[in-house]
Structure 1
């Protein structure tokens, strides 16, 4: 390879990197701003339990469920940083990954604010699993992951019910884990379960120590699940076999 050819290849690589970063930045701006806009315009019925009548606040089209400032800026920066990391690793994986992360953010906000996980968003998350199939050795791994995700969280919900005589996990959490299992497969959903458990336990212990909550209080679980899933999708995908050894 002569010097001119090497320079052309280097320039091409630099150009491709620039295009990828620019695409990630544009996608981050769209995703960050869109997250706030979509949540504020989301149908009120999505944020209510089955048969529950939406409140006046939810029905008011001018109510900002999520404030534009500073959340548009924060979410945009988050998606730009994560998008650049993912697109530099694999741009095809990044497309599916950013869609999944965006839906997880919407569900985390909904659970934190209204203690609801919209079924519509869970279904959309499950559909993003189609984009992850090429990154699995076998599509059956997706189905097994979905079944295990549903089973693990269902089992935890039963144990919580027996121990505390009340619901400790909602049906939305269980369905969300099933959708995540379809995306990540068996090993991935097990790692997400461990990370979410550790993060939630550490945070709850801190809140109890600071007397921010009582032992009888319930907290939103989807934010912890979303953080754990994001860590796995962005940083740990491909290392599941090593981590579970």
Structure 2
């Protein structure tokens, strides 16, 4: 599986091993979104879809204190790192082995997927797999880069000619991680969610201004100050859609149609 090979190579190094400033800001935003906006902190079963080597496990332990946590990824190398670092959870880590994914169906109250949607080769398969894993009425919560118009990143991309159309008809910014295959607008995600069977999408937004400023500060500038400033976008502007990053949620219906 070529896609898995790419991430096996990445996880053989220090890929997504440590939190950086923008990820600290994302953590804080996710904590607020899950516990204060969606009020899902009491969920009993949670799956981290695209868990990698477990970067977000401490966050899930904090925001879902009573939940049985499970994990999955396409990378066997990431799973091995995870098993070494978190042996308590090793038997609840599913390796997604295309075309057979051994994730239990209609099992989870919440599926969280942090910065995965932009990486997956087959978006329909990804959304369908998550939908099947959720119980009736369960929630899919995700973060992904945002292509909504009039963010600072969007304006810069338009002015410099660095926004390119993908084979799917979406777009990506030329300076992004090369494994990003798409950047979606909120209306495009709503359409794909509806086609998959999700309802009631909700959004909050990050990376309007301060995140971009901080990523361009010289390295000598105080890291703690930068980390704090990156949280200000969500704190001040989280309901404004002209952002470079989004948090989203949608749920499955209470009555599921037959497969």
The normalised TM-score by structure 2 is 0.33
- Structure with larger Rg: 1
Which has the larger share of helix? 1
Which has the larger share of strand? 2
The normalised TM-score by structure 1 is 0.34
